[in-house]
Amino acid sequence: MNVAQGKPLAKLLQRILNVFWFLGWLVLLLLVVTAIVQVIDFRGLANTIAQLALVGFVSALQFIIVQLRRILETVAHEKPFTLANVARFRSIGFTTLAIGGLFLARDLYLKGWNTFVILNADDKGVVTNVQVALPFIIGILALILADIFRLGYDMFEENKLTI
């Protein structure tokens, strides 16, 4: 998949996504093997659920990486404003929002209402909990990009008709 000929930033992004894609599959394989061993040994329901949640999280990240690779391919071919990319950005947005929901549920379970303390300064130091909001912000950004790409597609199609 070498579509970024003559575009140094696209080449760099392509290589980074390829590394993440490879590492994601490696981590996913290790997690699945570990989950199978835990199911066989049955080290407790909480451990099994946590392991399955981790497999789901890494699978969601792999899905996002595959979508980003496909979007980058269309950018490298200089045809980014397609309905396929609109759907890809939407799927990235909803997947990221789902990940954020799982993080929020986990933090509510572990920390209770302290999850919503964004900045806490006390005698132990400064503690921040901004990471809970990041998946929601990224998901919303991806959904906004989907709408922008939809407008770009509409303008591109309109431009083709006027020529």
Mean pLDDT of the chain, nearest integer: 84
Choose one of 28, 63, 78: the last residue of a domain: 78
Beta bridge mates, 127: 120
Mark whether 99 and 50 lie in a shared domain: no
Q: Which two tokens stand for residue 137?
A: 């912000």
Mark whether 64 and 89 lie in a shared domain: no
Mark whether 129 and 104 lie in a shared domain: yes
Q: Supply the range of the domain harboring residue 73.
A: 1-78
Q: What is the pLDDT of residues 50-102, one digit of tens each?
A: 777 888 888 999 999 999 999 999 988 888 999 999 999 999 999 999 999 98
CA–CA gap between residue 110 and residue 161 (Å, rounded): 56
CA–CA gap between residue 5 and residue 72 (Å, rounded): 12
Choose one of 59, 78, 97: the last residue of a domain: 78
Q: DSSP letter at 80? A: -
Task: Report pTM.
Answer: 0.78
For 149, counting Cβ atoms within 10 Å of its Cβ (0-12 exposed, 13-18 middle, 19+ buried), the class is buried
Mark whether 102 and 138 lie in a shared domain: yes
Q: Which two tokens stand for residue 75?
A: 């950018």
Listed residue (19, 154, 16) closest to 81, CA to CA: 154
Whether the Cβ atoms of residue 60 and residue 97 lie closer than 8 Å to each other: no
Letter string b/e over residues 10-36, b meaning 16 or more CB atoms within 10 A of that residue's CB: beebbeebeebbeebeeebeebeeebe
pLDDT of res. 55: 83
Listed residue (24, 150, 17) closest to 90, CA to CA: 150
Question: How many separate domains does the chain show?
Answer: 2
CA–CA gap between residue 92 and residue 19 (Å, rounded): 19
pLDDT of res. 77: 85
CA–CA gap between residue 97 and residue 8 (Å, rounded): 31
pLDDT of res. 135: 92
